[in-house]
Amino acid sequence: MSNTPTNEDTTIKVALRIRPLTSEDLINIPIRFQRNVLSTAAQECNQKEVYERCVTKMVDKFLDGFNVTILAYGQTSSGKTHTMGTSNDFTSPTESKGIIPRAMDTLFSAVNSARYKSQKFSMRVSFVELYNEDLIDLLAEANDEDKPQVLIRENSNGSISLSGLQEIKVNSVGEVMGHLSRGSLNRQVGATDMNSKSSRSHAIFTVILSQQKFIPSNELCASPLPLTPSTSSTPTSFPETKSGSHSRSNSRLSRRFEDGTWVSVTSKFHFVDLAGSERLLKKNFKSNL
C-alpha cells in the first residue's frame, strides 16, 4: 500500500496490494520468477489497514445515498477473496476479517448511532454469481433445476436490473454474514497449481440501503443527496392552519417549504470478487464439478 496522497474528490481509486510468497509458491513458481523484494511491505499492510485506508470513506458516501462498488482483481491465489472477505464467517478471527464484514460493522454501527436517529433505514442483500455466461442466485433455496432464471433487464428509464434475483431483508451484521457465508459455499471452485480452492466465477454481493430522511427547506439546495433515478421525495403532511386570506393549498405549501421535505433514497453497495485473471491452461486448472 502506497502512502502517496490521493485526490479525495475523485470517483475512481485504485489500491495495489502485493501478497508475500507462501510455501506453495516456493514449490510451484519457477525460481527466476520468485521476486520477494516487496514482500516486507506487503506483510506490514494488514486487513484493518486496507479497510481503513481504502473503504471507510466509501461507507460514508453510501450512507449519503451514493452507489458504491469495490472490485477485487488479480490472478489466482493473489488474495482477492481474502481481502474482500467473501469467505468470512462467524468463526473468522477478527484480524483476518476482510472488507465486507468490516464494512457491515461500520454500516450498522452508523445507522444505530445518535447521528442517524431521525432517519429510517431498511437493508436488503443479494448474492449473484456469473459462471460460464450464466447468472446464478447464490442465495436461492431451491435445487439447481428449480432455481428461477436470473436475467439482465433494461428498464424504461435506462437503468439495468436483474430479474429473478431475490433480495433478502437483513437487520444485523450477523444476518448479513450468515447469507454471505451460505452463498459463498455455493460458488463454483476448482483446483489449480496456485490454489486448491480457486474461485472460478465472478461473484457480486450487494447491500441495498433504503432510507428516509427529513431535510429542512433551508438545506434542500445544499443537500448532498445524489440526483439519481432512485431518489424520490415526498412532501411532509402538516395539519391545516389558519392563514388569513390564503387558501388551504397555499397554506400547506408554505408550511412545506418553511419546514422541509421527507426524502426517500435508495443506494447500493456492490462487493465484486472476480475470478482469477490468468489463463487456466497455464495454471493447470482442475474443476471439481
| pTM of the entire predicted model | 0.72
- Whether residue 7 is contained in a domain is answered as no
**Number of folded domains that form the chain:** 2
Tens of pLDDT along 9-64? Answer: 678 888 888 777 777 777 776 776 666 544 444 456 788 998 998 899 999 999 99
Q: Locate cell 417549504: which residue?
A: 257
> Is 272:70 a contact under the CB 8 Å cutoff?
yes
Spatial neighbors of 75 by CB under 8 A, at least 6 apart, are 194, 276, 277, 278
Residue 224 located in a structural domain: yes
Phi, psi dihedral angles at 2 (to 5 degrees): -85, 150
Q: 90 and 190 share a domain? A: yes
Enclosing H/E stretch for 47: helix 47-54
- pLDDT, one tens digit per residue, over 74-107 is 887 778 888 888 877 767 788 888 999 999 999 9
Burial 272-289 (b: 16+ CB within 10 A, else e): bbbbbebebeebebeeee
The answer on 254 and 242 residing in a single domain is yes
State the CATH number of the domain containing residue 276.
Answer: 3.40.850.10
Is there a single domain that holds both residue 151 and residue 191?
Answer: yes
Domain that holds residue 119: 46-212+272-287
Q: What is the DSSP string of 117-176?
A: TTSEEEEEEEEEEEETTEEEETT--S-TTTSPPPEEEE-TTS-EEEET---EEE-SHHHH
Q: Identify whether 28 is part of a domain.
A: no
The reply to whether 241 and 282 lie within a common domain is: no
Examine the domain organization and report whether 194 and 228 are in the same domain. no
